[in-house]
Structure 1
Amino acid sequence: MEPIFALDIGTRMVMGLVMTKNEEQGYEILASAQTEHRQRAMYDGQVHDVDEVARAVAKVKALLEQKLDFPLKQVAVAAAGRALKTEVAVAEHKGLLPVRWERENVLALEIEAVHQALRQLQSSTGDDLQSYHCVGYNPIARWNEGEEIANLIGQRGRVAKVSVIATFLPRTVVDGLVAVLGRVDLEMTSLTLEPIAAGQAAIPPNMRRHNLALVDVGAGTADIALTRSGSFFAYGMVPMAGDEVTEEICKHFLLDFKVGEKVKREILKKKQLSFTDFLGAKVVVDQSEVLELIQSVVGKLAENISKEIIKLNDGVPHAIILIGGGSLTPLLCELLAETLGIPQNRVGIQVRDRLGGIHGEKSLKGPETITPIGIGIAALEGNGLQYYTVSVNGTPVPIFALQLTTVAEALLAAGIQPRSFFGKPGSALTFEWNGEMQVIKGTLGSSAELLVNGKPGKLDQSLTAGDEIIFIPGEQGKDAQISVKDILPVQNPKWIFWNGEQERYTPQVFVNNKLVLETDHILDGNKISYVANDDLSNLLKQKGYNHQENEEVEISINGETRMFHLHHEVLVNGNTAEGNIIIKDGDYIEVRKVQLTIGDLKLKPNPITFYINGKEMEYPTQETIITSQGRPVQEDELLIDGMDLRVVGYKQMPIFSDLLPYVKFSDEVPPGSTLTLIVNGQPAEFTTVLRPGDRLTATWN
């Protein structure tokens, strides 16, 4: 098996190993090298100064190449375990009509669910969608038409849904590592997570049945991994570690960080410690004084680690295994045992010497060697995330594969939206046609065009390093678009004669009660009414007549409003049309309005009523006189809407003497009597002009 270059880029130190696997003897370390960062270039496992970290990596690489006498081009590395994010998400597709779900459709739906998981992650973290690498996903459930089903491929339905669990790593973590490696001409081929790598080396598989806590105490963080029932089941992190202790020493004695780090490492080696502070003064202190100084900080670190372990484990584990350079921090083992309430012999530091099956480089002995050894084991066993680069539309895209990577996953990693894999159908057009709802469908969208290395590809096609993908998004279907002529029934135009004029008789279309042309487009929601060119009723409707209804005129007669109906007489080819008839090419149609005259009303005046000597009498009319607004009208005049007519039976009002013949006196008139005339209680003469309703009195006195 080819040797593996395993590189552990820590907050304080960079360590590299070149390992190989021997089926009989286990793993062999061919060479090792390590160096410290000249200055603080890493914080909490995150690259902050690319050039400074690259300098340290270059030094380690050069030392290894010198020992091995062959160049190193590829490398396996680890990312901080706390960076791993997992989300469960669902995606659903609804169509207007049932379709058969093929593999490409199902894969596109799964990728949409992964994208939804990415959006959920963005919502919970506040990062943008491009802040994470998807390092793998697995479908966990599928539904067709609401029913859970084992496999969607080949099924037919209108609604499909999938649920996936997706795993992500922050791009800042990965891109920082890639940037550092690129500076020194190294290609990352495998990426594992630090707690997973450390666990593979520190805890053998047969010990993972026990409930153990592995704590990788570094400079900036303490990563935690828990085992139970044969596997690691939980990971966590405490954002403090060995640097906290160093900083406490530096603050108390006013030391440079490097000097403080040296003092911390010598605490348990010497009874008296001597060093020079930042101002140049020589300082000599007892070991006990420094231990007392750092006890509170180490106690806080132990307390935070214990709380995180109990939270993740839901209780105290059987034992605690410490690795990493920070595990050598004085008092840490004792204070952890005390805080967790377990025997002190249940908290220990794992070292290289106790690892079985690891050979070579006997000088590597400390707990800081565990993680780089684990990185090498993960790469040799193929347990790391396989990493390589492909090209999408000319842009390099890093790919991590927990499983065989497909074109669809590469497009997702390139930030291409899953919705562009397949063009959406165009919008439908809905309108009302003579009171009935009609729907015109848009065209179907086209699938995206895919080329892999210049040849047609598929979304589920597997990729290898260096593959070149050209992606042309699927085009959306065209929205439904029709004009009036597209929906008109087939009816030939006719030539007719209308009231003596020849004209073309064609159908008419009204949109929202407005006449439109055949070339006009129909819009969504239009209400369309269609008037055909077939019969007399539709012809009259087009001309603004209603064959079945009469026109009304309103006339006032002596102050009383009355309605009169006018009708039209329709002649077809000279004959009066009875009811609705079919109109044929060449027909002559004439419409005559049959109107009423004054004489048609047969108006008669009403008699005038008077009261004579207490009795009602009607004065007979002499003739019929009709006027309109003071103008005499003749019986042959036509009625006009709004006409105000006055009808009377006399030319002038009668006088008192005209009514005397209608007065009944007693038979005998006393001699010498005189006739007394009274109108409405007032004395009157024979010539007094009367008004309708007057009360008259005529007596002999």
Structure 2
Amino acid sequence: MEGVKEKQGQLVFGLDIGTRSIVGTVGYLNGGKFHVLAQRSKEHETRAMLDGQIHDIGKVGETISQVKEQLEADLGRELTEVCIAAAGRVLRTVTTYVEHSFESDREITQEDVYSLCTMGVEKAYEEFQNSNTDTDMKFYCVGYTAMRYYMNGYQMGNLEGHKAKNIAVDLIATFLPDDVVDGLYKAVELAGLHVANLTLEPIAAIQVAIPEKFRMLNMALVDVGAGTSDISITKEGTITAYGMIPVAGDSLTDILVQHCLVEFEVAEQIKRKCRTQETIEYEDIMGLPQTIKASEVLELLDPEIERMTQLVSDTIKELNGDKPVSAVFVVGGGGMVPGYTEKLAEKLGIVKERVAIRGQEVMQTITFELENARKDAMMVTPIGICLSYYVQSNNFIFVEFNGERVKLYDNGKLSVTDAAMQMQFPNDQLFPRKGEALLFTVNGKTRMVRGEQGEAAVIRVNGDEADMYTQVHNGDRIVVTPSTEGEPAVLELGKLSELGDALQVYVNGKQISLPKTAEVNGHRENEFYRIGQNDDIRIRNSYTVKEIAEFLDVPLGADIRVNDTAAQPDTRVYEHFTVSWDMKNPLPEGSYADLPDADTEEDAYREEPVYGEGPVMQKAEAVAGEAAMTQGTETAAENGTASVTTQGTSGKQDEKYESVEQTAQSQSVSPQGPHPLTVIVNHSPITMQGKASYVFVDVFDYIDFDLGSSASAGRSIVTNLNGRPAQFMEPLKEGDVIEIYWKSMH
């Protein structure tokens, strides 16, 4: 924050934005004491706030500006950041437990404790969301309290400085609706201020009213403001619960407005003067002078005080396990009306001396460095707001995402990803998308050709190039151009590897090359046919003797022999078979024209060869085998791509789908020759060299990753490529983003 004097701590500006007035306090913490340098307050000129919630943001912002300007004049410096506290009619709390383990014993730092609490807040928010699916209201965490810390399983008062392998915390987090928080932020921004910390009003008040040395007792703090009564409970050295009810001082003032026929401001003065004057003079809305006795005022207010204290008593008991507390401290102007503390004690069933208004007597650690400082119960919460800044940093930031304003809970590690999630930006528009894959069968076996890879999303933060992991800060402008989908897969029949090689046979001692042919869905197609979705392709891997003669355009002679064995014109000839007939003694014309057409017979097709042998496939088997032993399931490909199941340690494969791209790569050499390829593995770049093309499994040659059984115990391997599950034989491209790590199965 702005303003650091020599020999002073950091200046903190706290603002209590109450229903009736706004109180500003500026000071600094030094030597365990908080030094108040300036304090100013101003009441709202209209009913701009009701029940702790802003109704007129412009009016409240204007009043904040006036308080800020008065403080700046007192201090002789500009104030740009402020700490605030929230109240509201709908308060929800979540109590949760979270722990964190280190690899070995280490000294716990303040950052470790902060990170632990941040984890707790995030877990509490997740639990809150899961248990409040029945409401359309959007809630935000406005404060938290660490109830108990644990070190290696044992309760510990303060973790910092200790050595431990495991730390944990019981934490209570408080949530308020978005409109409450949003109104506060907008009003503060109108006054030219940035929120440095946000807390809850009872959390702030308890910083001053109930010091830690008193928190071993089962006590309650009641902050009775104008619009809300905020409640917190302490027990066994910690704060155990928070509550809030929308009934406070204004409900008393409203009674006097009706009875005395006066404006709200006049009624407020009558209520305050009844504490110090026996007879109060005022002027009604007709302009007529009037008088009323203090006893009459209290008699008018008595039923409402009864109702208020009953509600507070019921809430205290509910928060304290359906039983009263041992003592109650009351702060705030609304609780200063005569008779309030006595009636609250009566409702709780405790002696009246144990319900008391707390003011100057609780400010032993507060030093006021200004003349005529106000030290009553109304100053407890404003000073507590300042002290909360040192205890916790709880803030929201606002960023612009594709032109829309979005609010993020600031955990100190916000990135573009967090903003995208908050805006519910589609995940598939962040990462490049492949075009539609082409699925078909070849001789009964399913094949797949992947679509072309699309372009990744283009991300800019404040006009500069960025990525999903770029950190963002308050006021940043994020622009995300969605990723694109690649072209759908296209393949011509002639590109199938099975049709690329001719059938080699020997006819009458000479080697002859016979082109392979194919049928698609029962019809013979040429090599330029574009394969369609779910086409059934049958590759012919044989010719009949008759067909060979027709292909060579020579007459078929008598004495037909296949592999030196007597044969017929319809005998099938496969790869490397030898065929001969008597060229000098041709068969009569038409003597074999009506023989069955071999194209319709099942034995015209031969099972394809198995691809994928060699060191690369062996490496893939090793990784897949380790994954299978840890997971006990198949390593399945996305959208029906290749899946490999290992059986024991034999390395046998059951290939459900076979990639045409992989087959082609295994049988050809890139015309470009070997070249380097750089990819990002676990956030670090690596460069692979020595090959014309690379597949996913090649990465394991360049990273230090233990695939042994000791590393895999109780864990499963995760392999991701560009944000999705990867295939071991999947081709890699320049700049691909890869994640490889072990994940616990528990």
Is the shorter-chain TM-score for this pair beyond 0.5, marking a shared fold?
A: yes
CA drift of 1:538 comes to 12
Q: CA deviation at 1:167?
A: 7.8
Aligned 8 A contact 1:192 1:378 in 2 = yes
Q: Do residues 489 (structure 1) and 480 (structure 2) align?
A: no
1:582 maps to which of 573, 595, 598:
573
Give the SS at the match of 2:134.
Answer: helix
Cα distance change of structure 1 residues 506 and 594 upon mapping to structure 2, 3 Å threshold: closer
CA distance in 1 between partners of 2:263 and 2:449 (Å)? 78
Structure 1 residues 134-283: aligned runs within 5 Å: 170-283=177-290
Q: Offset of 1:15 from its aligned partner?
A: 0.6
Greater relative contact order (CA < 8 Å, ≥ 6 in sequence): 1
Cα distance in structure 2, aligned partners of 1:313 and 1:193: 19
Q: Does structure 2 retain, via aligned residues, the 8 Å contact 1:84–1:170?
A: no
Q: Does 1:329 align with 2:337?
A: yes
Letter paired with 1:182: E
Contact 2:141 2:176 in 1 (8 A): yes
1:374 maps to 2:373: no
Deviations 1:172-215 (A, max 9, x none): 23332232223222222222222211111211122222222112
Q: SS at the partner of 2:275? A: coil
How far did 1:16 drift?
0.7
**1:435 and 2:426 correspond:** no
Output one character per residue of 1:271-325: Cα deviation in whole Å (capped at 9) or x when no partner.
3344343344554444333323222221111121122222222122222221122
Report the Cα distance in structure 1 between the residues aligned to 2:355 and 2:143, rounded to whole angstroms.
34
In 2, the alpha carbon distance for the partners of 1:298 and 1:334 equals 10
In 1, are the aligned partners of 2:39 and 2:71 still within 8 Å (CA)?
Answer: yes
Could you say if the C-alpha distance between residues 446 and 411 of structure 1 is closer, same or farther in structure 2, counting changes exceeding 3 Å? same
Letter paired with 2:136: G
What's the offset of the Cα at 1:261?
1.8
Q: Does 1:347 align with 2:355?
A: yes
CA distance in 2, matches of 1:352, 1:84: 31
Q: 2:65 aligns with which of 58, 69, 91?
A: 58
- Other-structure match for 1:612: none
Match of 2:14 among 2, 6, 12: 6
Pair 1:365-2:372 in alignment: no
8 Å CA contact 1:41, 1:52 repeated in 2:
yes
Paired with 1:298 and 1:537, the residues of 2 have a C-alpha distance of: 111
**In the alignment, is the contact (CA less than 8 A) between 1:333 and 1:344 conserved in 2?**
yes
Quick one: structure 1 residues 47 and 493, their matched pair in 2 at CA, closer, same or farther if it must change by over 3 Å?
same
Shift of 1:259: 2.3
Asked if the contact 2:218/2:233 (under 8 Å) is kept, the reply is yes
- Mapped to 1, the partners of 2:280 and 2:257 lie a distance apart of 14
Between stretches 443-452 and 75-84, larger displacement belongs to: 443-452
Distance in 2, matches of 1:38 and 1:535, equals: 101
Q: Which residue of 1 aligns with 2:314?
A: 307
Shift in Å at residue 438 of structure 1?
A: 4.0
Q: Which moved more, 1:421-430 or 1:240-249?
A: 421-430
Distance 1:573 1:184, change over 3 A: farther
State the Cα distance separating 1:260 from its structure 2 match.
2.1
1:232, 1:60 → 2: CA distance?
Answer: 32
Indicate conservation of the 8 Å contact 1:136/1:403, yes or no: no
1:356-400 deviation per Cα after TM superposition (whole angstroms, max 9, x unaligned): 211114531221211110111122x15232455556557665554
Provide the secondary structure at the position in 1 that maps to 2:217.
Answer: coil
- SS of equivalent residue, structure 1 residue 182: helix
Q: Sort the Cα spacing of 1:86 and 1:459 in 2 relative to 1 into closer, same or farther, 3 A.
A: farther
SS of the aligned residue for 1:489 comes to: helix
The question of whether the paired residues in 2 share the 8 Å contact of 1:114 and 1:137 is answered with: no
Preserved CA contact (<8 Å) 1:572 1:589: no
Give per-residue Cα distances to partners, 1:529-582, cap 9 Å, x unaligned. Answer: 415263239979xxxxxxxxxxxxxxxxxxxxxxxxxxxxxx956779355323
Alpha-carbon shift at residue 341 of structure 1 (Å):
1.0
- State the alpha-carbon separation in 1 of the partners of residues 464 and 429 from structure 2: 20
SS in 2 for 1:124: coil
What are the within-5 Å matches in structure 2 for residues 247-646 of structure 1?
Answer: 247-314=254-321, 315-360=323-368, 361=370, 362-379=372-389, 381=390, 383-386=392-395, 392=401, 399-413=408-422, 416=425, 420-423=429-432, 430-440=439-449, 450=459, 457=466, 459-460=468-469, 462-463=471-472, 469=478, 471-473=480-482, 482-487=491-496, 489-490=498-499, 507-511=517-521, 522=531, 526=534, 528-532=536-540, 534-536=542-544, 577=568, 579-582=570-573, 592-593=593-594
Instruction: Give SS of 2:240's match.
Output: strand
Structure 1 stretch displaced more, 341-350 or 183-192: 183-192
More displaced 10-residue stretch of structure 1: 175-184 or 276-285: 276-285
> How far apart in 1 are the matches of 2:388 and 2:67?
20
> 1:124 is matched with which residue: 134, 152, 156?
134
Letter in 1 for 2:394: L
- Native 8 Å contact 1:337 1:344 kept in 2: yes
- Decide whether the 8 Å contact of 2:227 with 2:247 is kept in 1: yes
* Residue aligning to 2:702: none
**Structure 1 residues 122-180: Cα deviation after superposition (integer angstroms, max 9, x where no partner):** 7332136xx75899999xxxxxxxxxxxxxxxxxxxxxxxxx99986644233322322
1:25-44 aligned at under 5 Å gives the runs 26-44=33-51
Offset of residue 19 of structure 1 = 1.0
CA gap of 1:535–1:248, structure 2 versus 1, over 3 A, is same
Residue identity matched to 1:30: L
- Residue of structure 1 in register with 2:728 after alignment: none
Q: Give the stretch that moved more between structures: 484-493 or 186-195.
A: 484-493
Q: 1:231 to 1:256 in 2, by over 3 A?
A: same
Which deviates more, 12-21 or 78-87? Answer: 78-87
Distance of aligned partners of 1:137 and 1:581 in 2 relative to their CA distance in 1, 3 Å threshold: farther
Following the alignment from structure 1 to structure 2, what is the Cα–Cα distance between the partners of residues 589 and 239? Answer: 105
Matches within 5 A, 1:678-697: none
Gaps of 5+ in 2: 1-8, 98-119, 147-170, 504-513, 549-554, 561-566, 582-588, 597-746
Distance in 2, Cα, partners of 1:232 & 1:205: 10
Which residue of 70, 76, 83 corresponds with 1:76?
83
Question: How much identity, in percent, do the aligned residues show?
Answer: 31
AA at the equivalent of 2:499: V
Q: Which segments of 5 or more consecutive residues in structure 1 lack a partner in the other structure? A: 90-109, 139-163, 495-503, 541-570, 596-701
1:483 CA drift (Å): 5.0
Deviation sequence 1:604-635 (CA, Å, 0-9, x none):
xxxxxxxxxxxxxxxxxxxxxxxxxxxxxxxx
TM-score (norm 2): 0.58
CA 1:506/1:166 → structure 2, altered by over 3 Å: closer, same or farther?
farther
Aligned length: 509
